């Protein structure tokens, strides 16, 4: 039983042998309601039971209004009845590899807790979006089943190596990686540095709402990602998510220039300081012709560069009034090899931090500066504070996003002979992480 039901609700359910996850029918006055019994949240009233309707929405029903309650099937039968059979793709369509790593796009309701869990396989994702059979032959594989907050640099290496393996061993038109949204932009940046000069597009796709919810964005995002993977003229790493709150357009962002800017909206991801590369509307791709970044064209060349190592001893520190400089000293003392600062405005931190930063630089630690502002560039030559930081040895990173800078520092240190070489790499534009400066006409 459990499901956190107590007192009145528990007595009613126990009397009829009903458990969480069972399919039930309830009669209220002249109305009948059928659905699955969901768990009761601890903070919810004991006088209500919760039902998931066929529409996908939950409703609470007051126990005192229930005239009759009947179990239609137990939870095992209920879950089995909604399972979708595998779909066989059209062998003549372009081939796309679908690598599943987990996250909301690969999640279903957990009937024990009422929350979502990573349970959908890549094959189930394919089967749940039958429209995919009109655009590509999907080759699915489960690599990970993790929420993205649990991913670490070692997982970026695993994903990068799997993508490289797919490209080298078969003729895919593109690679789609299903991923949790919370850290998807970190993984996109990691793949952008680990896999350079890609011959095909690699598209990371996620969902803000799980695939069994009526408001889910999972199916449209996955369909859009597949269309882009097969039809885009560009190669490289991209992120595919809703462009707006309506279910009509998917945007495709450069992997190093994208950020999650909202906790729950379907259009949470935005391109920073540049425009999206393309949109998919009504299942048709619309490439943006005038794109300021240096984007690679598709090719049949498989000699792309694969360097999948990451140094995880990199720390991202956000400056704020009252920031304690001993945090910088601690980072040095515990063995971090690089510090990425999210400074204010044009790239500043308070003078109280100067001595700690100088000690860090003198100790051979790579210290880089980004801005905590969403848009714009670090310009450390404008004010005395910035110039003093430059004299200390802090490296300005133009308009590089702080998350991208953190990932790049991990990659640069792991793939350089020494810190000085890594510092040079940090200031080079390798994967469109630094936007070109467009002259004012």
DSSP 87-132: -PPPTTSPEEEEEE--SGGGEEE-TTTSSEEE---HHHHHHH-GGG
| Mean pLDDT, residues 201-229 | 85
Tell me which CATH code domain 314-426 carries: 3.40.50.40
> What is the band of 2 on the pLDDT scale with cuts at 50, 70, 90?
very low
pLDDT of residue 123: 63
Position 344 pLDDT exceeds 50:
yes
7-80: which CATH architecture? Roll (2.30)
- Asked which of 109-118, 265-274, 355-364 is least confident by mean pLDDT, the reply is 109-118
Taking residues 129-156, report their average pLDDT: 90
CATH node for 84-306 = 3.40.50.1170
Residues found in the chain: 441
Q: Which tokens go with 372?
A: 């905590």
The whole-model pTM stands at 0.81
| pLDDT per residue as tens digits for the range 383-419 | 999 999 999 999 999 999 999 999 999 999 999 999 9
pLDDT of residue 38: 82
Distance (Å, rounded) from C-alpha 151 to C-alpha 159?
Answer: 11
Higher per-residue confidence, 92 vs 440:
92
Instruction: With CA atoms as reference, report the closest residue to 437 among 379, 394, 355, 385.
Output: 379
Domain boundaries, the chain: 7-80, 84-306, 314-426
pLDDT of residue 82: 43
Rg (CA), the chain: 25
Q: Which of 11-20, 32-41, 80-89, 367-376 has the highest mean pLDDT?
A: 367-376
Q: Over 60: is that where the pLDDT of 115 sits?
A: no
Beta carbons within 10 angstroms of residue 333's beta carbon: 10
Residues 6+ positions from 311 with CB-CB distance below 8 Å: 153, 337, 338, 409, 410, 411, 413, 414
Most confident of 53-67, 204-218, 363-377: 363-377
Evaluate if residue 36 carries a pLDDT over 90. no
> How far is CA 395 from each of CA 163, 327, 337, 369, 422, rounded to the nearest angstrom?
32, 19, 14, 6, 11
Instruction: Please state the rounded mean pLDDT for residues 35-53.
Output: 77
pLDDT given at position 121? 57
Q: What is the mean pLDDT of the chain?
A: 88
- The whole-number pLDDT of residue 166 equals 96
- Cα(143)–Cα(155) distance, integer angstroms: 10
Q: Do domains 84-306 and 314-426 have the same CATH topology?
A: yes
pLDDT attached to residue 436 = 83
d(CA 27, CA 10): 18
Binning pLDDT at 50, 70 and 90, where does residue 80 land? Answer: very low
Q: Give catalytic residue positions.
A: 104, 181-182, 260
Which range of 3-12, 50-59, 298-307, 368-377 scores highest in mean pLDDT? It is: 368-377
| pLDDT higher at 14 or 314 | 314
**23 or 292, which is more confident?**
23
Q: Residue 300 — very low, low, confident or very high, per pLDDT cuts 50/70/90?
A: confident
- Kindly tell me if the per-residue pLDDT of 117 is higher than 60: no
What does the pLDDT average to over 279-298?
Answer: 84
Share of the chain above pLDDT 70, in %: 85
Pick from 36-40, 144-148, 157-161, 165-169: least confident: 36-40
- Average pLDDT (103-118) is 57
The total of other beta-carbon atoms located within 10 Å of residue 261's CB is 13
Q: In sequence order, which residues have a C-beta less than 8 Å from that of residue 136 and are 6 or more positions away?
A: 89, 93, 94, 95, 96, 173, 226, 229, 230
User: Checking DSSP bridges between strand 258-260 and strand 269-271, what pairing results, if any?
Assistant: antiparallel
User: Greater confidence, 31 or 357?
Assistant: 357
């Amino acid at each position: 039983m459990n499901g956190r039901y107590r007192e009145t609700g528990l007595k009613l359910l126990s009397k009829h042998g009903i458990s969480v996850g069972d399919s039930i029918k309830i009669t209220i006055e002249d109305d009948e309601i059928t659905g699955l019994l969901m768990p009761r949240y601890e903070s919810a009233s004991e006088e209500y039971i919760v039902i998931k309707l066929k529409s996908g929405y939950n409703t609470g029903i007051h126990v005192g209004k229930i005239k009759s309650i009947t179990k239609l099937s137990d939870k095992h039968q209920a879950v089995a009845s909604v399972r979708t059979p595998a779909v066989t793709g059209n062998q003549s369509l372009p081939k796309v590899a679908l690598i599943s790593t987990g996250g909301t796009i690969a999640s279903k309701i957990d009937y024990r807790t009422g929350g979502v869990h990573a349970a959908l396989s890549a094959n189930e994702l394919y089967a749940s979006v039958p429209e995919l059979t009109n655009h590509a032959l999907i080759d699915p594989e489960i690599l990970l089943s993790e929420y993205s907050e649990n991913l670490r640099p070692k997982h970026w290496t695993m994903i990068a190596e799997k993508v490289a393996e797919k490209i080298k061993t078969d003729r895919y038109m593109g690679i789609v990686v299903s991923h949790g949204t919370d850290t998807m932009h970190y993984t996109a940046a990691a793949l952008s540095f680990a896999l350079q000069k890609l011959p095909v597009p690699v598209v990371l796709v996620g969902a803000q709402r799980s695939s069994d919810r009526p408001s889910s964005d999972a199916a449209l995002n996955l369909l859009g990602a597949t269309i882009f993977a097969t039809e885009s003229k560009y190669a490289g790493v991209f992120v595919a998510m809703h462009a707006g709150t309506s279910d009509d357009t998917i945007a495709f962002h450069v992997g190093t220039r994208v950020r999650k800017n909202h906790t729950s909206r379907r259009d949470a991801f935005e391109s920073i300081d540049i425009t999206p590369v393309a949109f998919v509307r009504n299942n048709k791709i619309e490439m943006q012709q005038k794109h300021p970044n240096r984007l690679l064209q598709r090719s049949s060349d498989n000699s792309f560069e694969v360097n999948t190592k990451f140094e995880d001893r990199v720390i991202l520190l956000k400056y704020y009034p009252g920031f304690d400089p001993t945090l910088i000293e601690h980072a040095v003392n515990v063995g971090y090899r690089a510090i990425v600062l999210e400074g204010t405005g044009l790239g500043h931190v308070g003078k109280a931090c100067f001595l700690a930063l100088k000690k860090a630089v003198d100790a051979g630690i790579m210290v880089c500066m980004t801005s905590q502002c969403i848009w714009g560039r670090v310009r450390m030559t404008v004010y005395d504070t910035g110039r003093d930081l430059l004299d200390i040895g802090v490296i300005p990173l133009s308009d590089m996003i702080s998350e991208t800078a953190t990932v790049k520092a991990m990659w640069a240190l792991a793939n350089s002979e020494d810190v000085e070489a890594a510092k040079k790499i940090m200031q080079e534009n390798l994967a469109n992480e630094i936007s070109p400066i467009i002259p004012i006409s």
